[in-house]
Amino acid sequence: MIYYWLHMVYVYIGSRIFWEKIRPTSELTRTRRVNLLDCESFRFMANSKYFYYMDLIRYEVVFRSKLYDNTVKKGMFGVLASQKIIYKKPLKMFVKFDITLKLEGSDEKWVYHRQVFKQNGQTCAIGFTKAGFWKNKKAQNMNEILISSDPDYKIKVPSEELLNLFEKDYSILKINDKTI
C-alpha cells in the first residue's frame, strides 16, 4: 500500500508541476515497465496490478487537466462505480508496456473509460471503468463537469455494448445480499 501512495504522490506532483496540461477528454498513453513488485511468481504481472495502473492513469488525467480544479478543489471526490478487465496475454516482468486511457462517453452521473494494455505491439488486456464525482452524498453531473473542464467537448454517448457491460451490476449486488 505504501508503494501505491508513493506512486500516487509522484503522479500528483508531476502532473501539477512538471508535466504539461491536457484536456480531460483526450487520449493518454503512458509507458511503464513491469517491475519485480508488480509480479507474482517472478514472471508475470499480477492481475491486481492491472487495476493499480488503471487507477494511476485515471488520476493522472484528473491532476493534469482542469478536472482537478472543477472537482477536487470544489470538494468533490472521485468514485469508481465499477470496473471490468479482460485478460488476453500476461505482461512479462521487466518488459515495458503501454497503457492507453480513452474516454468512451459520459452520461448524467458517470464517465466511461477504456484502458488498453499493450506490450510489444500486442494487446494484452482491456479494462473498462465507470466513474464519477460525488459531493454531499450525491453524484454530480458528469456532462457538466466535462464541459466546464474542456469547452470543446461534445457530449459523447457511451456505446450500447459498453453500457451492457455495467448494466447488471446493481442487480448482482442485490442478489448477493439476499443469499448471504
Domains of the chain: 2-179 (3.10.129.10)
Res. 165 pLDDT band, cuts 50 70 90: very high
| Mean pLDDT score of the chain | 93
- Range 32-41, long-range pairs (CB < 8 A, 24+ positions): 32/96, 32/97, 32/98, 32/99, 33/94, 33/95, 33/96, 33/97, 34/91, 34/92, 34/93, 34/94, 34/95, 34/96, 34/97, 35/93, 35/94, 36/93, 36/94, 37/3, 38/93, 39/93
Residue 177 and residue 10: Cα distance in Å, rounded?
39
Q: Kindly indicate the confidence band of residue 13, based on its pLDDT and cuts at 50, 70 and 90.
A: very high
Residue type, 67: L
User: Would the pLDDT of 106 be above 90?
Assistant: yes
Going by their DSSP bridges, the two strands 96-106 and 77-87 should be labelled as unpaired
pLDDT at position 180 is: 59
The one-character DSSP state at 164 is H
